[in-house]
Amino acid sequence: MCGFGGYFGTVRDGKGLLDRMTAAIAHRGPDEQGIFTTDKAGLGHARLAIVGLGDGQQPMSDATGDLTVAFNGEIFNYVELRERLRAKGRRFRTGSDTEVILHLYEEMGEDCVSALNGDFAFALWDGRRRRMVLARDRMGVRPLFYLRQGEQLYFASEVKALLQVPGVVAELDPIALDQIFTLWAPIAPRTAFRGICELEPASLMIVEEGRVSTRPYWSLDYPDADAPPRHRDERAVAEELRALLGDATRIRMRADVPVGAYLSGGLDSSIASALAAGMAPGRLKTFSVTFDSAEHDESGYQREMAQALGTEHHAVACGEGDIAAVFPDVVRFTEQPVLRTAPAPLYKLSALVRDAGLKVVLTGEGADEVFAGYDIFKEAKVRRFCARQAGSRIRPHLFRRLYPYLPGLRQQSAEYLASFFGAGGSQLDDPLFSHRSRLDGTAAAKLFFSGDLRTTLSGYDAAEELIARLPPAFRRWHPLHQAQYLEARFLLPGYILSSQGDRMAMAHGIEGRFPFLDHRLVEFAAGIPPGMKLKGLVEKHILREASKDLLPPVIGRRPKQPYRAPDSRCFVGAGRAGYVADMLDEGEIAAGGLFNPKAVAKLHEKCRRQPASGFRDNAAFVGILSTQLWLATFTGAGASRARAA
């Protein structure tokens, strides 16, 4: 796990630029830095040494010096690949996974990515063909951004490295802001930065003289809804799933440093921790966040699981004031506005891991996408159920069961519940049916956009763009698979794995590993019949079946508790961070030009007066505050005030 930056083309003082780029992302790789330049290309690398501690320096060249790679992430099946390559007569000079990429590329060209099982982004300079190959892992665990400027192409693991390129000025992309205020994240390749793109997950980019081409090398696919089921025997499915998950975990325990695990107290991280505890050479270290507020805190379950596994458990408390205190740093690392504070506790958690002396943790992320764990999947099912009998006074009560933790829903009548969730039958053929309530609820926060921004965005519809990006087969899939695709293809890489994942972990030089996102497991799970994943209203049924011997019953039977953190109230209590008032000051909002200053002032006042605000007000408050922080951090607007904070 590391970070890299580089360029293709003729660049004046390329070495100086690479120095600045790697310095900007030094947090990703505090152990070593390296630089490679030729007349036509340059690579810079900041290394977090995990595999091949003594001989894995990067950028790494092959024996001929023709191929050079800068690589961020891990190739988990590098042991098997190396054996296969050795059997073909290839000789290795190091014990690192990086060298495997070089040999594999020599064997297969850029198609080598299809043989890799890992979380990776890399840039490979092929001196013979005078071309640069950029690649990113299937699910989008590791980031890769790029920027074209005339004949040159620049790329890096984080945008802040690209901001070192002469002539590049950070500017917020209004379309990206609209997408964030609808979908929670920009639709790749768009990023929050105008003119700076992201290489999409599972994609290759080839950069040659006068030509740049991009293509996917893998795609998430589901069977047609009317196709005969691939699996019928639930027990056999559970056994195969368990075997795959075990192997996915086993190869993710490979490291020349100790591997720990995040333990939230929920099903997924408990399974990952249980499997890891059985494979770790010593006593596994586990790490958790605890909250002051009972509605967010899961420490009882965390302790229960840690005791059951006998792990060395570490926890960090995260109060509302802590979230406010770290939020400016959080935005500096997410590099995009966010509508939730949920990344902030994860920022504190990765600091806890670093302070405990570890560099690598397993997490349970991805299980909700792969095995249908999110409430939104159940919500869509209930909405379809209600739509079949429009006007039913009984069916909408099921919504209350889905969200027992939302106080606003407990007291609502069946009629209101049906209205809130748009349970009428008219939109059943909407490709975004499963997510429409969430998208509409989120987009309501655009109420605060300024008149100028509304004019700029006039005629643009983020949901329509999302629909345009769906593959042709989408409409033939089962509704649950459609909903899973929307989560796994867009929200997972755009927000969960980036703003809550890579960016929060790497802020403190911590590598997260995700057994549930092993592509073999993802492909297998896609073929599991929907009813085995979401059985009635029991989420992740087949995963529970496959892992019931691993967990205490109280954890194994636990219903999903979404990971949430306190939102606007973190920023409005007495004595809270002074930067908030500065960032939301009417003059500052007016200077930013994105939001209506008077409306924001009223929202701020409402949140102060009434800290238990609803979803829209919370999302709007956090979204506006993070956008203002983004402007201050990356464009210098209000920078003096941000620094004073």
Query: Annotated active-site positions, please?
Result: 2
Burial class for 527, CB neighbours closer than 10 Å (0-12, 13-18, 19+): middle
615 binds other proteins per the rule CB under 8 A? yes
**Strand order across the beta sheet in which 312-318 lies:** 312-318, 285-291, 259-262, 360-362, 511-513
Asked if the bond preceding 59 is cis, omega within 30° of 0, the reply is: yes
Contact call for residue 419 and other proteins (CB under 8 A): yes
Shortest spacing between CB 440 and other proteins, in angstroms: 6
Per-residue buried b or exposed e for 13-33, using 16+ beta carbons within 10 Å of the residue's own CB: ebeebbbbbbebbebbbbeeb
Distance of CA 551 to the CA centre of its chain: 26
Nearer to other proteins (CB atom), residue 186 or residue 597: 597
The number of beta carbons lying within 10 Å of the beta carbon of residue 111 is 12
Q: ∠303-304-310 over CA atoms, to 5°?
A: 80
**Are the beta carbons of 50 and 2 closer than 8 angstroms?**
no
- Shortest distance (Å) from residue 295 CB to other proteins: 14
Q: Is 115 in the site for other proteins (CB under 8 A)?
A: no
Establish if 95 lies at the interface with other proteins (CB under 8 A).
Answer: no
Stretch that binds other proteins, among 184-192, 487-495, 517-525, 597-605 (CB under 8 A): 597-605
Closest listed residue to residue 203, CA positions, set 186, 187, 222, 219: 219
- Minimum CB separation of residue 610 from other proteins in Å reads 8
Candidate residues 49, 220, 443, 466; the one interacting with other proteins per rule CB under 8 A: 443
The answer to whether the beta carbons of residues 353 and 287 sit under 8 Å apart is yes
Among the candidate windows 142-150, 155-163, 408-416, 564-572, which touches other proteins by CB under 8 A? 408-416
448 counts as binding other proteins under rule CB under 8 A: yes
Q: Which listed range, 113-121, 377-385, 404-412, 505-513, lies at the site for other proteins (CB under 8 A)?
A: 404-412
Residues 336 and 136: their CA atoms lie apart, in Å, by 20
448 vs 477 by CB, closer to other proteins = 448
Nearer to other proteins, 558 or 606 (CB): 606
Kindly determine how many residues on this chain lie close enough to bind other proteins according to the rule CB under 8 A: 30
- Answer for which of 285, 533, 576, 616 binds other proteins (CB under 8 A) is 616
Task: Please tell me whether residue 598 binds other proteins under the rule CB under 8 A.
Answer: yes
- Interface with other proteins, residue 182, by CB under 8 A: no
**Six-digit token string for 513:** 């590993």
Taking the alpha carbons of 351, 356, 357, 362 in that order, is the dihedral positive or negative? Answer: negative
Contact stretch for other proteins (CB under 8 A) within 86-94, 321-329, 443-451, 492-500: 443-451
Q: Does 412 bind other proteins (CB under 8 A)?
A: yes
Span interacting with other proteins, options 36-44, 270-278, 361-369, 599-607, rule CB under 8 A = 599-607
Q: What SS3 state is found at 561?
A: coil
Structure-token pair, residue 93: 């000079």
Q: Kindly state whether residue 603 participates in binding other proteins, applying the rule CB under 8 A.
A: yes
Tell me the CA distances in angstroms from 459 to 170, 453, 462, 554, 567, one per residue in order.
25, 12, 10, 51, 31
Distance CA 360, CA 381 (A): 37
For tokens 């700029």, name the residue: 456
Single out the segment in contact with other proteins by CB under 8 A; choices: 121-129, 410-418, 480-488, 530-538.
410-418
- What residue type is assigned to position 13 of the chain? D
Query: How far apart are CB 609 and other proteins at their closest, in Å?
Result: 10
Nearer to other proteins, 358 or 380 (CB): 380
The phi and psi torsions of 34 (rounded to 5 degrees) equal -145, 155
Cβ proximity to other proteins: between 239 and 605 the closer is: 605
Q: Which is nearer to other proteins, 231 or 606 (CB)?
A: 606
CB nearer to other proteins: pick between 332 and 400: 400
**Least Å from the CB of residue 398 to other proteins:** 15
CB of 606 to other proteins, least distance (A): 7
Shortest spacing between CB 414 and other proteins, in angstroms: 9
Planar angle of CA 134, 136, 140, nearest 5 degrees: 155
Assess 31 for contact with other proteins (CB under 8 A).
no
* Bridge partner list, 46: 3, 33
Question: In which residue are the tokens 């290394």 written?
Answer: 47
Cα separation, 242 vs 240, in Å, equals 5
Count CB atoms within 10 A of the CB of residue 64: 10
Closer residue to other proteins in complex, CB, 64/610 = 610
- In angstroms, give the least distance from the CB of 436 to other proteins: 12
| 403 alpha-carbon distance from chain centroid | 24
Contact between 456 and other proteins by CB under 8 A: the answer reads no
Closer to other proteins by Cβ: residue 42 or 623: 623
Interface contacts to other proteins, rule CB under 8 A: 406, 408-409, 411-413, 415-416, 419-420, 440-441, 443-444, 447-448, 596, 598-600, 602-603, 606, 610, 612-617
